[in-house]
């Protein structure tokens, strides 16, 4: 009994030392919620699959509709989601939030119980850049509005680039200046106990709680940064979205440096190579200079950097769930053909990775 109790305590301590990565928004450019037609099509597909399974005789006994649906979702989520870029990374009490797209709103709603229990939270907001799809969730981040007068002491730190024509502070305040939003940033500053700002530049390292972050400049219109987070348990999480490869056969050195031997690399895979090149069957509009990547370039980077898990991210708003799944499978096939060992996962809202 004593041995069992000690083992349980060791398991709990091991879990406390894990890095948890949660995905709250995975789309790029603009939010892309499911339409009524999309939902109806998904319902029909599930019914067809269930009827086919009944007729095939491969189940004995036949599972209930609920258990059949659960089995299907273990392979592919019901939907990858429509919110724009936002990823939460936790280590013990540390909170690092990577980008502030519309996924920041549901993330914020989950923080209230913890915030009140602890009488306040401290979080680091790391901005890759300040295009709308990466900051538009901030005005709807509920904990931002909790007044310090009720005894809650929150500390928010925002990290952004130095070459954004304006500072990160000015960019964030600007999107909330009347008449574009009813609550001005100066009102937020009155309510909140502590808001600070810090700069990032290529090669800079900084402590974010117990994690050490290093930033690297990527290839995207306006100044954009990837982040490499090293945690005390030795795990490495890299966030490198919105990057256009110069040459898919020769991965971008800064990106490879950020991704080297990482446990997880979250990376932009918005297009197929056909879309990027403007193939007729893919609409005929080339995406050169738009600042986004595709499976061939990601596979080359993953192999050269020896990445354990590649998470495809920043899905195009026009990509269906089925297309995203195909891109995931194709990227995995490319990596395997090169002799790489990286596992490929297409990010979906609700995905959690424990490291």
Say if CB 29 and CB 317 are below 8 A apart: yes
Pair type for strands 205-208 and 211-217: antiparallel
Which pLDDT tens digit goes with each residue over 332-352?
Answer: 999 999 999 999 999 999 999
243-346: what fold? Metallo-beta-lactamase; Chain A (3.60.15)
Calculate Rg over the CA atoms of the chain.
Answer: 22
The sheet with strand 211-217 has its strands ordered as 205-208, 211-217, 225-230, 236-240, 264-268, 309-313, 343-346
User: Which whole number is the average pLDDT over 37-51?
Assistant: 91
Pair type for strands 236-240 and 264-268: parallel
According to the model, what pLDDT value does residue 165 have?
59
Cα(241)–Cα(253) distance, integer angstroms: 15
Q: What are phi and psi of 239, to 5 degrees?
A: -115, 110
According to the model, what pLDDT value does residue 118 have?
94
> pLDDT category, 9, cuts 50, 70, 90?
very low
Which pLDDT tens digit goes with each residue over 149-206?
Answer: 888 999 999 999 877 656 667 878 888 888 889 998 888 888 887 999 999 999 999 9
User: Which whole number is the average pLDDT over 116-142?
Assistant: 95
The upper half-sphere exposure of residue 92, i.e. CA atoms within 13 Å in the direction of its Cβ, equals: 10
According to the model, what pLDDT value does residue 138 have?
95
Q: Write out the CATH class of domain 19-33+81-201.
A: alpha beta
Cα(292)–Cα(255) distance, integer angstroms: 13
User: Which whole number is the average pLDDT over 270-292?
Assistant: 95
Higher-confidence residue of 72 and 239: namely 239
According to the model, what pLDDT value does residue 222 have?
86
* CATH topology match: 19-33+81-201 vs 243-346: yes
In the predicted structure, residue 12 carries a pLDDT above the cut 60: no
> pLDDT category, 148, cuts 50, 70, 90?
confident
According to the model, what pLDDT value does residue 193 have?
73
Per the structure block, which two tokens stand in for 262? 């990482």
According to the model, what pLDDT value does residue 67 have?
87
According to the model, what pLDDT value does residue 23 have?
98
User: Which whole number is the average pLDDT over 111-132?
Assistant: 95
Point out the least confidently predicted range of 5-14, 55-64, 185-194.
5-14
Q: DSSP assignment, residue 89?
A: E
Which pLDDT tens digit goes with each residue over 90-108?
Answer: 999 999 999 999 999 999 9
Strand ranges, E, within 143-263: 155-161, 194-200, 205-208, 211-217, 225-230, 236-240
According to the model, what pLDDT value does residue 97 have?
98
The pTM assigned to this predicted structure is 0.92
User: Domain residue spans in the chain?
Assistant: 19-33+81-201, 243-346
In the predicted structure, residue 10 carries a pLDDT above the cut 60: no
According to the model, what pLDDT value does residue 71 have?
83
In the predicted structure, residue 5 carries a pLDDT above the cut 70: no
């Amino acid at each position: 009994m004593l041995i069992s109790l000690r083992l349980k305590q060791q398991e709990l301590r091991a879990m406390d030392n894990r890095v948890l990565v949660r995905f709250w928004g995975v789309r790029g450019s603009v939010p892309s919620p499911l339409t009524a037609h999309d939902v109806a099509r998904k319902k029909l597909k599930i019914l067809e699959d269930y009827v086919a399974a009944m007729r095939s005789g491969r189940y004995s006994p036949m599972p209930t509709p609920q258990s059949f649906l659960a089995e299907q979702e273990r392979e592919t989520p019901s939907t990858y989601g429509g919110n724009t870029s936002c990823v939460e990374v936790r280590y013990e009490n540390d909170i690092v939030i990577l980008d502030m797209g519309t996924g920041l709103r549901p993330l914020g709603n989950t923080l209230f119980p913890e915030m009140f229990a602890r009488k306040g939270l401290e979080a680091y907001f790391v901005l890759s850049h300040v295009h709308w799809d990466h900051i538009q969730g901030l005005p709807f981040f509920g904990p931002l509005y909790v007044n310090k007068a009720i005894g809650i002491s929150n500390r928010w730190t925002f990290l952004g680039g130095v070459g954004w024509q304006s500072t990160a502070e000015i960019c964030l305040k600007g999107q909330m200046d009347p008449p574009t939003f009813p609550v001005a940033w100066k009102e937020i500053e009155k309510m909140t106990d502590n808001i600070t700002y810090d700069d990032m530049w290529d090669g800079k390292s900084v402590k974010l709680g117990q994690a050490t972050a290093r930033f690297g400049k990527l290839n995207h219109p306006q100044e954009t940064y990837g982040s490499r987070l090293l945690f005390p348990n030795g795990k490495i999480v890299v966030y490198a979205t919105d990057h256009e490869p110069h040459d898919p056969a020769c991965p971008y050195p800064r990106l490879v440096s950020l991704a080297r031997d990482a446990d997880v690399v979250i990376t932009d895979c918005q297009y197929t190579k056909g879309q990027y090149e403007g193939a007729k069957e893919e609409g005929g509009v080339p995406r050169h200079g738009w600042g986004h990547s595709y499976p061939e370039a990601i596979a080359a980077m993953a192999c050269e950097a020896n990445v354990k898990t590649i998470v495809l991210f920043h899905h195009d708003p026009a990509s269906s769930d089925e297309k995203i799944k195909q891109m995931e499978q194709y990227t995995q096939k490319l990596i395997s053909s090169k002799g790489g060992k990286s596992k490929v996962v297409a990010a979906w809202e609700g995905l959690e990775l424990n490291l």
